[in-house]
Amino acid sequence: MSSMEILAPTFLEYWAVRCMRPKVPIRCAGLRLAHWKGLPKSSPVIVCGLAGALSSHLAPGTVLIPERVGLTDGSIRCCDPMLVQILVAAAQMLHLRLDTGTLLTAQSLIVGQERHVWYQRGFVAADMETGLLLDHGLRIASIRVILDNPEHDISLDWLHPLKVLLRPSLREEFFWLSHMAPRYALRAARVLKVGLDLAPDSIFV
């Protein structure tokens, strides 16, 4: 499995994967893959972490393993079918709520009315990383557990944590995220662990 890499956007998601599978090749890639240097073409890459749903139909805690991923410029491509199949099987073995709808990769958090706009365009959830891999010639897949949705909206200030400290009104949101985000990050990592256990080594070569 030496050619495979797991990408975790934040330290929380990196920590969760390390807890579940300590020796897996993983990189804390940063938001929008700010710290990722790339891989040779045809390498398998799995992005593992959290996402925001674009509709209330996708409840927090749902595991999203998208069959397709798109960007805000309208480009949409398929994820690697074999990787998707293995990760879907892992989520099913764990008896978790599962969705395979299209994932949007955006430049920032999608919140408020924007969620509905992108849902109407065929996307079920949004992240800021997976779609950035589309033009690198890689075999990509993504495991995203839904953290928030229109009924559990979050503030854009979470992109700049220092702002949160200056806004007492976000205290309730802070406690909710502090409780749910680690739990859901571990859920994504658990799906990854089971998927890697199910997969033949040849799929990562």
Per-residue pLDDT of the chain (205 residues; tens, 9 = 90+): 447 899 999 999 999 999 999 988 999 999 999 999 888 788 899 999 999 999 999 999 999 999 999 999 999 999 999 999 999 999 999 999 999 999 999 999 998 899 999 999 999 999 999 999 988 889 999 999 999 999 988 776 656 665 655 566 667 777 888 899 999 999 999 999 999 999 887 676 5
Q: Domain segments of the chain: what residues? A: 5-204
Considering the domain 5-204 in this protein, what is its CATH number? 3.40.50.1580
Q: Per this entry, what is the length of the chain?
A: 205
Task: Give tens-digit pLDDT for 132-183.
Answer: 998 888 999 999 999 999 998 877 665 666 565 556 666 777 788 889 999 9
Residue 7 and residue 33 in contact, taking contact as beta carbons nearer than 8 Å = yes
Which distant-in-sequence residues (6+ apart) come within 8 Å of 48 by Cβ?
6, 7, 8, 13, 16, 17, 26, 142, 143, 188, 189, 192
pLDDT at res. 1: 43
45 strand-pairing partners: 5, 140
CA distances from 116 to 73, 106, 111, 125 (A): 17, 14, 9, 10
pLDDT at res. 114: 93
Q: The tokens 């495991």 sit on which residue?
A: 143
pLDDT at res. 172: 77
pLDDT at res. 164: 56
pLDDT at res. 74: 92
Residue type, 169: S
